[in-house]
Amino acid sequence: MDALTGIGKLDRERLAAILRGTKGTVSVAQASAILGANSSDAAKMLSRWNKKGWLSRVKRGIYVPVPLEASSADVSLEDPWQIAATLYSPCYIGGWSAAEHWDLTEQLFRTTVVVTQLTPRDRNPAIKGTNFLLCTISEKRMFGLKTIWRGQVKLSVSDPTRTILDMLAEPRLGGGIRSVGDMLVNYLHSEAKNLDLLIGYAEQLGNGAVFKRLGFLLEQHAPDEQGIIGQCAQRLTKGNARIDPKQPAERLISRWRLWVPKGWLKGAA
């Protein structure tokens, strides 16, 4: 833990200039550009201010300012979304994190879901006490996003429809299929409900398991939605999928080509 210690007038002026010229995070490249210094000197300055407790290191070459009221540089991240936008861009906030943002769930999740075009080695990093869950997608699948501001930082979050789609494609992003089913019900009762868009997004994504899971869940939770249930049935791909890859699945629901856990939803056949 680095205790806060004093810095000289020149360092205060340099640090103030950097903080005025950055948003949320500070990189070596940004410090170098703002101060007109070479990258080596900029890196040394940031490291020095980190040791003195005025900046907190997030990862190599990336820092966040330490609040003036903090007694040390050992601080938690004020806004994990801002850090995600810096570390994993191009990316968007998705899964249960987006579902919380759009009021599709009342559950509180401590981990931030980030969908990125990068392929990081660690898919479950913990940064200064904040956990992230990273999922990689291709550039062509970066659609259905909304731009929002968090403080001075502009970032992307999946819109409500894309949020539901992502969790149907990968139930782990919603905390498991039961949780995803609950969020789907909330979506169906929300102002964001747009079933034509949901079908369109699913076709654009090109994941056959989505139609199987969506049709099955709608049949269980919203049987009156016969129109979209029929559209899902028309789009079934060959082969059988699992309702949730993380759960045991011993029972095949043949009309949806979907394996579900034994004894789960006994009314299905």
CA distance 246 to 195: 27
pTM: 0.82
Average pLDDT score, the chain: 88
90-110: average pLDDT: 96
Q: What pLDDT, on a 0 to 100 scale, did the predictor assign at position 243? A: 96
**DSSP structural state of residue 109:** -
215-221: average pLDDT: 94
**Tokens 């009156």 correspond to what residue?**
224
Per domain, the residue ranges of the chain are 9-65, 80-260
**DSSP structural state of residue 61:** T
| CATH code for residues 9-65 | 1.10.10.10
250-265: average pLDDT: 88
Confidence of residue 24 (pLDDT cuts 50, 70, 90): confident
Residue 71: pLDDT over 50:
no
**Tokens 């949901």 correspond to what residue?**
198
Q: Quick one: tokens of 126? A: 């913990």
pLDDT digits (tens, 9 = 90+) for 241-250: 999 999 888 8
CA trace torsion 158, 164, 167, 168 (10° rounding): -140
Residue 81: pLDDT over 60:
yes
Residue 48: pLDDT over 90:
no
- Closest to 229 measured CA to CA, from 198, 190, 265: 198
Residue 73: pLDDT over 60:
no
- Residue 54's Cβ-side half-sphere holds a number of Cα atoms within 13 Å equal to 19
Q: What pLDDT, on a 0 to 100 scale, did the predictor assign at position 1? A: 44
Residue 140: pLDDT over 50:
yes
pLDDT digits (tens, 9 = 90+) for 165-188: 999 999 999 999 999 999 999 999
Q: Which residues pair with 265 in a beta bridge?
A: none
Question: Lowest mean pLDDT: which of 91-100, 118-127, 225-234?
Answer: 118-127
Collect all residues with Cβ–Cβ distance below 8 Å to 199 and sequence separation of at least 6: 228, 231, 232, 235
Collapsed DSSP state (helix, strand, coil) of residue 199 = helix
Encode burial over 63-94: b for 16+ CB neighbours within 10 A, e otherwise. bbbbeeeeeebebebebbbbbbbbbbeebbbb
